[in-house]
Structure 1
Amino acid sequence: MPTINQLVRKGRKSKAKRVRATALRRAFNSVANRYAYYPSSQKRGVCVVVKTMTPRKPNSALRKVARVRLSNKQEITAYIPGVGHELAEHSIVLVRGGRVKDLPGVKYHVVRGKYDASGVVGRKQGRSLYGTKKSGAVTGAQATATTQTRPAPES
């Protein structure tokens, strides 16, 4: 245990928190041709390869992943959540942080319902995580069509 005098002279240092999704923390400066610290919660990218990966022991499956070149020129592997997808090479996706525990090296998730990554079809619960619209909801085009069919009030 340090003395008061030692604490006055040196003070306590807080531990630096380890950032795991490092590709979201930098941007590429094309003029200076180097990276700059520019943290963001999501980044846009283009799919280079869409493939399946097998998880670590003791799990067994074919998890869908995409190799994505981000807007900062970095290439990362992102997990595609949900059942079914229409992503292919050159598809534009939005990527967020969040690792997949049983896939080594996969530290990012594709955001469903944004750009070319469509929402999961037939999803009823947890829809916001999978970009699924409310089933049976009235769309904007249907709402305007119903208001125009009513006769105008006579005065």
Structure 2
Amino acid sequence: MPTINQLINNPRVPKLKKAKLLALKTNWNSRRKKYSWANNPQKSGICEKIGVTKPMKPNSANRPFARVRLKNKKVITVYIPGEKHNLQEYSSVLISGGGAQDLPGVQYHIIRGYGDAEGVKERKQGRSLYGAKRAKETKGK
């Protein structure tokens, strides 16, 4: 246990979470035309292409993905979670790390409910992951 004087001289510093993915680590300075290191939990961008792709074995479904140009000028492949989506070309989206496990090369996912990405409709459980609002309760007699 540290003494009061030790804490005054060396205060406790909370640990910072570091971004592990390159697109979240960099910022673009348009004035100096340079990249700088950062530690961003999310980034915003614009969709360039929307499509579906096949996952690795043994899974066999169509997984929706998007090619997104971020504000730091990097172009990345992003997974679109949930059932159905309303995204199209030039839609504004917010992305964060962690993609689909069975899609190779996809390291990011879109956060539903922000920008032009609507939340999943009729979602009752796990709503926070899919940007769904709580259903209105109707008072019955």
Normalising by the smaller structure, the TM-score range is 0.7 to 0.9
Contact kept in structure 2, 1:21 and 1:98, CA below 8 Å: no
SS in 1 for 2:35: strand
Q: Which has the larger radius of gyration?
A: 1
- Kindly indicate which of the two structures has a greater share of residues assigned to helix: 1
Cα distance in structure 2, aligned partners of 1:59 and 1:21: 26
Cα deviation, residue 32, structure 1: 2.1
- 1:28 is aligned to 2:32: no
User: Gapped runs of 5+ residues in structure 2?
Assistant: 1-17
Cα RMSD over matched residues?
1.6
Cα deviation, residue 20, structure 1: 4.2
Q: Which amino acid aligns with 1:104?
A: P
Cα distance in structure 2, aligned partners of 1:19 and 1:56: 26
What residue in structure 2 maps to residue 4 of structure 1?
A: none
Q: Could you state the TM-score of these two structures normalised by the residue count of structure 2?
A: 0.81
Contact kept in structure 2, 1:20 and 1:107, CA below 8 Å: no
The count of residues paired between Structure 1 and Structure 2 equals 121
Contact kept in structure 2, 1:113 and 1:132, CA below 8 Å: yes
What residue in structure 1 maps to residue 134 of structure 2?
A: 134
Identity rate, percent: 50
Q: Runs of at least 4 residues of structure 1 off by over 3 A?
A: none
Cα distance in structure 2, aligned partners of 1:76 and 1:124: 31
Cα deviation, residue 19, structure 1: 6.0
1:60-80 residue CA offsets vs partner (Å, 9 max, x unmatched): 111000000001000001100
